[in-house]
Amino acid sequence: MAAVEDGAAMTRHLKTHHVDLIILDLMLPGEDGLSLARNLRSQGNQPIIIISARGEEMDRIIGLEVGADDYLAKPFNPRELLARIRAVLRRMKHADQPMEAAEKAVLEFGPFALDVEKYRLTREGNEIPLTHGEFTLLRVFLEHSGRVLSRDMLMEITKGYERSHLDRSIDVCVNRLRRKIEPNPSEPIYLRTVWGAGYLFSRNGE
């Protein structure tokens, strides 16, 4: 584990070191944490947890919108941060694990194909970048297509730690996925909301 003082130091460190996960404080000297998170996400799938004294709902949503895998408001119990780290790393491990032999396949829907082993989403051969959270959520939807999945069920499957009933990270991730897979995100055909129940994924868009 290593700690650096600002974005420039982080960039230098990442050029010469492999890291499993980045914990990013928003209040940094120089380039702010949101900008850093956005740049990191544009470069790859490096897992990111944002920590910040700004704990309002909109701040959390913005943090997740720029591509963070989780957002934790200060002050927090160090044990909660450890739980969040373990949950994100667990998601990564699950996403990287090959499916059972009988299930090894590319999961297809519409013009899209999700290659679980290669960790790639493509549309007619063109790759669409996904964060770890987006990949995990899409894989869950595909493996449970045709079933209504509640927000609590999705939180339990994809995160695995205690959460507030006000946690909207699933909704934010769903919105990000819709922007990547839906012809018209405001009128989704694959990833639909079932009001009062949760979300329903339709592979055929019907």
* Model confidence, pTM: 0.58
pLDDT of residue 184: 93
Please give the Cα distance from 78 to 69 (Å, whole number): 18
Residues 44-101 have pLDDT tens digits of 777 888 888 876 777 777 777 777 888 888 888 888 888 888 877 876 665 555 544 4
| SS3 state at 55 | coil
Q: Walk me through the domains of the chain, giving residue ranges and CATH numbers.
A: 1-76 (3.40.50.2300), 89-206 (1.10.10.10)
**DSSP assignments along 112-171, one per residue:** EEEETTTTEEEETTEEE---HHHHHHHHHHHHTTTSEE-HHHHHHHHT-S---TT--HHH
